[in-house]
Structure 1
Amino acid sequence: MAGLKKKRDDQGFTLTEILIVLSIFLICTTIFIFSLHPLDRHFKESQFISQLEKDLHLAKVYAMSHLQTVRILFVPEESRYIILTGINNYLVQRKYDEEIKIINSTLRQFYYLPNGNVSQFGTFYILIGEKRYRFVIYVGKGRTEIEAL
């Protein structure tokens, strides 16, 4: 009889034990999910900055290789920027997250000329959450710089 009692005790877990394990699992999962939010914002920041730099480089290379003027136009009201060749030929049309704000201080659009220079130089600011970046286009050869403020 003692052997039968021992088998009965080893048959499974009680409801209380299962509930304790599930509640610990849910607490750990909740903490993990809420800790991912800052990582998501950081990923959006780095992806946007990197993509903008690559698109501007593409516009410059396209202008020099095709001997055409390429226009870069920022439309912050619609959270997008456009890179055009010719009159209305889209090279790039990129929509970005609405959390990202572009503030045009001296620059709303500019052109890459066929020799790689820019039509005008200037600055605009990028706000992503609490972070602020300054984007500067320099005179001569269309050099650009993005710096965190």
Structure 2
Amino acid sequence: MELFPPREADENGFTLIEMMVVLSVFTVIMAAGLTKMERIPSVLEREFFISELKADLYYAQSYAVSRKETVYIKFYSASDQYRAYRIRDNKVLFDKKLPDSVDLLDSNLQSFMISGDGDISKFGTLNFSVYQKVVHMKIFIGKGRFVVQ
């Protein structure tokens, strides 16, 4: 009695070469998909930065409207930070340093004012680099609308 009887020629199964070909094709498809994915932490940090900047601008606008005061917002590209001041007495409402992965690029808008009725004094675009991906924030004149792209 043999432990491993010889295989018959008509048995159904896959050869080693067939298995290797299928595994190679599967590996190539998986590798192609992984090269296009961004790192998850970079995406999360970019989204967190954008939401925090929006929240700060909405806060400055609501502060100006609720107190009927003008608020001045200034972006400093040299130190990668932004501040909001109350015009009346230069009281700082907030002073935020950009995260290490975020850089303020050359923009056509370095500062603007939000009046007591919520209007913004200047329009333009703020450009940021977040993990080497450029994010544009367009500020529209008038009722304080802005869009992030």
Give the alignment's TM-score, normalised by structure 1: 0.70
1:60 aligned onto 2:61 = yes
Find the counterpart in structure 2 of residue 128 from structure 1.
130
1:94 aligned onto 2:100 = no
1:63-107 C-alpha deviation (Å, 9 max, x unpaired): 011010001111121121101113421111111213211124210
CA distance in 2, matches of 1:104, 1:116: 26
1:44 aligned onto 2:38 = no
Count of aligned positions: 111
Pick from 134, 139, 142 the counterpart of residue 140 of structure 1.
Answer: 142
Name stretches of at least 5 consecutive residues in structure 1 with no aligned partner.
1-36
Find the counterpart in structure 1 of residue 72 from structure 2.
71
Pick from 107, 110, 115 the counterpart of residue 117 of structure 2.
Answer: 115
CA distance in 2, matches of 1:130, 1:109: 24
What is the aligned-residue identity percentage? 29
Asked whether the 8 Å contact 2:109–2:125 carries over to 1, the reply is: yes
Find the counterpart in structure 2 of residue 18 from structure 1.
none
Find the counterpart in structure 2 of residue 7 from structure 1.
none
Asked whether the 8 Å contact 1:104–1:123 carries over to 2, the reply is: no
Asked whether the 8 Å contact 1:121–1:138 carries over to 2, the reply is: yes
